[in-house]
Chains A and B, each alone.
Chain A
């Protein structure tokens, strides 16, 4: 059973515009959420995280929003750049287990066009 879902396999955005990537989760024990970015033939690279006690975290062009009641988080990239083209994975950890294992979504492939 997949506990982290990224329902959009792909997204195309023009350079300079906002990219919004969405993620839903089902496990109410998740208390820490992360976004990873992956280029082909490379491993995932950490991008940004948020704890469940917050509803927003910002780092430069990247902002993550968390809506606990809806069990939904989103990643906003503003402005989008061609170098942002990659696969983005949403991940979460469950404090009721060891809390170290990350549960990943299937990823959303973002294409930023010039």
Chain B
């Protein structure tokens, strides 16, 4: 069974540009999460989808970030326009069942904003 897949694995963009990250969850997982780890800091929650609905977006830093999950399958996270402080590793995770379902993480997308 395929795990959580993220691409690209690495993206280098200039400040002011737009970047879109993609996440394919484990098939059948209704819950999908985005997290971010800025260098030297902890992994921080961004948002949680249940199927195509945003259940909790309390961790989204500002309105330059837009997450979507069309049809309740894959998800995209767009940053527009990117700022220097957006650099970090963006992780996607998916789970099934309730809140204690194991969250399975992808390998992450390393975003470098120059």
Query: What CA separation (Å) do A114 and B108 show in the bound complex?
Result: 30
* Contact between B42 and A106, CB atoms less than 8 A apart: yes
Contacts of B44 in A (CB 8 A): 104
Closest chain A residue, CB of each to CB of B48: A100
B103 to chain A, nearest CB (A): 6
A46 contacts which chain B residues (CB < 8 A)? 102-104
| Surface stretch bound by B, among A12-20, A57-65, A76-84, A91-99 | A91-99
Interchain CB contact under 8 A, A99 and B42: no
- Interface size range of chain B in the complex: 20 to 34
When the two chains form the complex, which single residue of B42, B45, B105 contacts A43, counting CB atoms closer than 8 Å?
A: B105
CA distance A67 to B54 in the complex (A): 34
* Residues in B71-114 with C-beta less than 8 Å from chain A: 91, 93, 95, 99-100, 102-108
Size of chain A's interface in residues, with CB distance under 8 A?
26
A105 and B104 form a contact (CB under 8 A)? no
Q: How far is the CA of A102 from the CA of B45 in the complex (A)?
A: 7
Flag if A93 contacts B105 (CB, 8 Å): no
The residues in B between 6 and 34 inclusive whose CB is less than 8 angstroms from any CB of A are 31, 33
**Is the CB–CB distance between B56 and A98 below 8 Å?**
yes
A2, A49, A101: the one within 8 Å of B45 (CB) = A101
- B103 proximity list for chain A (CB < 8 A): 46, 102
Which residues of chain B have C-beta atoms less than 8 A from A45's C-beta?
A: 105
Interface string of A32-51 (1 = CB under 8 A from B): 10001000011111100101
Question: A2 and B42: CB pair below 8 A?
Answer: yes
A42: chain B residues at CB < 8 Å are 107
Are B99 and A99 in touch, CB under 8 angstroms?
yes
Complex Cα gap A102–B103 (Å): 9
